[in-house]
Amino acid sequence: MHKAIAIYPGSFDPPTNGHLDLIERGSRIFSELVVAILRNPEKSPMFSINERRQMLAGLTAHLKNVRVDTFDGLTVQYAKKIGAISILRGIRAVSDYEYELQMALMNRKLEPTLETVFMMPAGKYSYVSSRLVREVAQAGGQIKGLVPDVVVQKLRAKLDPAYKLQDISEKKRKTRA
Ligand code: PNS
């Protein structure tokens, strides 16, 4: 049987527990899932493309049929280039539906051979988005449980230089001990 490769495209700025939940679900139904991070020079992201790639690679290392890549241009072009048959997207609530439907139909118009597959993340993540996580973290709010612990650390390090320095000296102290 031929391999069913899917791509899961997005900005992942930063990756959330909702993204990871969807990646795990997708990895169970496709033979290979490629998490595809859009390189978008127009936006000014909080995390660089390399930071996002590293975070996602670490967070999905236990899933042997998942890999992480970056792309520019059209999602459908990238999907065809790597031999994917499907685009995976998550729908959290009705509010996501209109945007996702529009995007799926546009992608179908551009490339009719690709099928968009929607999956629902766990209900407990239905309100979690990268944008809200950034907003809450920037204002000093608690984001534990919404994003993986490694992302909490990275956000703290980015938003609080003092925390970063404290972390470095802590690491040095541990290596000396
Ligand atoms: O994380 P996001 O912002 O929900 O992801 C949106 C993304 C990256 C999937 C979408 O913006 C996209 O596919 N961009 C690539 C350009 C493209 O193909 N545009 C036409 C899609 S209808």
How many angstroms is it from 157 CA to the middle of ligand 1?
28
> DSSP 3-state assignment of 66?
strand
CA-nearest of 47, 30, 29, 28 to 39 is: 47
Q: What confidence score (pLDDT) does residue 2 get?
A: 76
Express each pLDDT in 89-123 by its tens digit: 999 999 999 999 999 999 999 999 999 999 999 99
pTM above 0.85, yes or no: yes
5-127 in CATH: which number?
A: 3.40.50.620
Chain center to CA of 75:
15
Express each pLDDT in 23-51 by its tens digit: 999 999 999 999 999 998 777 999 999 99
Express each pLDDT in 122-157 by its tens digit: 999 999 999 999 999 998 899 999 999 999 999 999
Mutate to test the pocket of ligand 1, among 23, 87, 103, 114 (most ligand atoms within 8 A of CB): 103
CA-nearest of 22, 4, 7, 5 to 75 is: 7
Active-site choice (3, 28, 43, 124): 43
- Helices assigned H by DSSP within the chain: 17-29, 49-59, 75-81, 94-110, 130-138, 149-159, 161-176
